[in-house]
């Protein structure tokens, strides 16, 4: 893949995120502020039910918001054709990407030929099933919630308990203390609802994953509010939102994060790969938290 095409993908996706932020809208939160006819929060799904990950979650959520799609299912033109269905005339697809590598033979300083693995980013187009006619009926079925409100809270409680993070309930602030390696949370009674509490806890648990004993990451933070701080907050924002989708919780738009939007815009405008890197780090953080769950251990046994 040529550098110009790869750069164009980074630029196109970053421009979409920047445009939303410039309007004061975080595209990874906004889908829940409107009506969700499916009555369920979920990651975007491939035609076979496999969830998308990383930057593709943000892109397809943003596309759903822009076009009013309520189905989480996305499918390629060829997949629709193979199912004897067709994309409606005039419908425009949405961009998703995947990362891969190719091998290039180069000559080293000693004159020997060596193979180098070169990473590249490839884009392709998908359509929401609501843009397609003639699919088998189950593709159009509206998903139903797996849990009642009470069960969802119990489900979240069990999830965070399984991480064995040191969570201390006191005071009026939520934060992760990295040197002492603990999470401080206000008591659940101080939140306006239980989902707000668990969404905030998901944010802090994403920070918790960066400890050197887990999946360390360091963006060079020197002071509060600098670029390194903003990059880590962006990872925690995305990680919490991805996790909330998996737990069927509504992400909490925290007031203290409104001031970060200007800093995030500066970071994204200066580095077209920043949102990709943040989404990748967020995905790894969520995957780590999921790996701590007992059902994962049982499946591996």
Digit-coded pLDDT (tens) for 112-131: 878 888 877 889 999 999 99
Report pLDDT digits (tens) over 185-203: 988 877 778 888 898 899 9
Residue 38 neighbours by CB distance under 10 Å: 16
What percent of the chain stands above pLDDT 70? 81
Q: What is the pLDDT of residue 205?
A: 97
Q: What is the pLDDT of residue 41?
A: 59
Say how far apart CA 205 and CA 236 lie, in whole Å: 8
Q: What is the pLDDT of residue 31?
A: 40
Q: What is the pLDDT of residue 235?
A: 94
**Does pTM surpass 0.85?**
no
Q: What is the pLDDT of residue 183?
A: 96
Of 77-86, 146-155, 219-228, 237-246, least confident by mean pLDDT is: 146-155
Report pLDDT digits (tens) over 18-31: 887 777 767 666 44
Say how far apart CA 164 and CA 216 lie, in whole Å: 17
Query: Among residues 28, 45, 75, 238, which one has the least CA distance to residue 143?
Result: 45
The two tokens of residue 214 are: 């887990």
* Mean pLDDT within 229-236: 90
* Mean pLDDT within 96-100: 86
Whether 58 shows a pLDDT value over 70: the answer reads yes
Q: How far apart are the first and last CA of the chain?
A: 41
Whether 35 shows a pLDDT value over 70: the answer reads no
* Mean pLDDT within 226-236: 88
Most confident listed range (23-32, 177-186, 248-257): 177-186
Q: What is the pLDDT of residue 133?
A: 94
Contacts by 188-197 with C-beta closer than 8 Å and gap 24+? 194/153, 195/152, 195/153, 195/249, 195/250, 195/252, 196/252
Q: What is the pLDDT of residue 229?
A: 86
Query: Among residues 206, 264, 291, which one has the least CA distance to residue 21?
Result: 264
Q: What is the pLDDT of residue 1?
A: 45
* Mean pLDDT within 3-14: 68
Q: What is the pLDDT of residue 151?
A: 59
Q: What is the pLDDT of residue 209?
A: 98
Whether 256 shows a pLDDT value over 70: the answer reads no
Q: What does the mean pLDDT of the chain come to?
A: 82
Query: Residue 144 — pLDDT band, cuts 50, 70, 90?
Result: low
Say how far apart CA 283 and CA 277 lie, in whole Å: 10
Whether 248 shows a pLDDT value over 60: the answer reads yes
Whether 46 shows a pLDDT value over 90: the answer reads yes
> What is the enclosing helix (H) or strand (E) of 74?
strand 74-75
Coil vs helix vs strand at 86: strand
Whether 223 shows a pLDDT value over 80: the answer reads no
Say how far apart CA 76 and CA 202 lie, in whole Å: 32
Say how far apart CA 98 and CA 128 lie, in whole Å: 18
Whether 163 shows a pLDDT value over 60: the answer reads yes
Whether 6 shows a pLDDT value over 70: the answer reads no
- Dihedral over alpha carbons 171, 175, 181, 184 (to 10 degrees): 30
Q: What is the pLDDT of residue 125?
A: 96
Q: What is the pLDDT of residue 253?
A: 57
Alpha carbon separation from 208 to 88, 90, 228, 239 (Å, rounded): 46, 46, 16, 11
Say how far apart CA 187 and CA 198 lie, in whole Å: 11
* Mean pLDDT within 97-108: 81
CA angle 88, 91, 92 (to 5 degrees): 145
């Amino acid at each position: 893949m040529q550098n110009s095409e790869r750069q164009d993908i980074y630029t196109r996706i970053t421009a979409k995120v920047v445009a939303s932020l410039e309007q004061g809208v975080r595209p990874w939160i906004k889908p829940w502020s409107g009506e969700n006819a499916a009555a369920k929060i979920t990651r975007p799904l491939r035609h076979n039910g496999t969830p998308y990950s990383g930057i593709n979650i943000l892109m397809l959520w943003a596309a759903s918001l822009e076009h009013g799609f309520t189905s989480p299912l996305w499918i390629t033109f060829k997949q629709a054709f193979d199912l004897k269905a067709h994309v409606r005339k005039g419908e425009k697809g949405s961009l998703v990407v995947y990362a891969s590598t190719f091998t290039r033979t180069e000559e080293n300083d000693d004159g020997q030929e060596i193979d180098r693995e070169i990473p590249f980013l490839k884009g392709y187009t998908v359509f929401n099933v609501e843009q397609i006619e003639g699919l088998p009926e189950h593709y159009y079925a509206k998903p139903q919630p797996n849990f009642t409100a009470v069960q969802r809270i119990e489900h979240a409680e069990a999830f965070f308990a399984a991480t064995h993070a040191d969570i201390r309930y006191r005071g009026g602030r939520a934060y992760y203390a990295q040197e002492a390696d603990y999470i401080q949370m206000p008591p659940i009674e101080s939140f306006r609802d239980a989902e707000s509490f668990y969404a905030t806890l998901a944010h802090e648990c994403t920070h918790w994953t960066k400890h050197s004993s887990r999946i360390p990451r360091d963006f060079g933070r020197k002071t509060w509010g600098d670029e390194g701080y903003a990059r880590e907050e962006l990872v925690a924002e995305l990680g919490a939102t991805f996790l909330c989708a998996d737990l069927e919780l509504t992400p909490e738009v925290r007031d203290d994060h409104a001031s970060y939007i200007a800093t995030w815009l500066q970071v994204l405008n200066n580095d077209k790969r920043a949102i990709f890197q943040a989404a990748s780090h967020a995905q790894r953080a969520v995957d780590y938290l999921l790996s701590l769950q007992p059902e994962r251990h049982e499946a591996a046994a």
